[in-house]
Structure 1
Amino acid sequence: MLTVPLNIPGYDLYYDQNLISCLTSIPDAPLEALKLSSTFLYLAATGMLIIMNKIQPSQRTEEQRNASRLFKQLETEIKTKIATGNPTLSYVNEAMNKVLALDRAYPLPNNGVMLEKFPAKTEPAVWWPKKRRTLSKGKNDNNGDKALNLNKALAIAGPLLTGLGAVGSAFIASSPHNSWAMVLGVMGGAMGSVVNTIQHGGQVGMVFEMYRSNAGFFKMMQESIESNLNERDVDSRENGEAFEMKVALQLGRSLSELRDVATSSSRLGNDIKEFGSKLF
Structure 2
Amino acid sequence: MSSSLGFRAYASGPDAYAGTMNLSVGRSGDRSRPVRTESAGVLRLMKPLHLDDSGQVAYFVVNPGGAYFSEACRMDVEVLPGASLLLSSQGATRIYRTPRGPAVQEAAFTVGEGARLEYVPDQLIAYRDADYRQVTTITMAADAQVFVEEIVTPGWDPDGTPFTYTGMLLRLEVRHADGGLVCADNVRIVPGDIGAAIDGIGYLEGSSHMGNVLILGQHVDEAYVDAVRELVDASGLARAGVTSGARHGIPWVMVRALASSTDALSALVLSVNEHDRSVTTGQRRLNLRRY
Task: Sort the TM-score into its range (normalised by shorter chain).
Answer: under 0.3
Higher relative contact order (CA 8 A, sep 6+): 1
Determine which structure has more spread, i.e. the larger CA radius of gyration: 1
Larger helix proportion of the pair: 1
TM-score by length of 2: 0.23
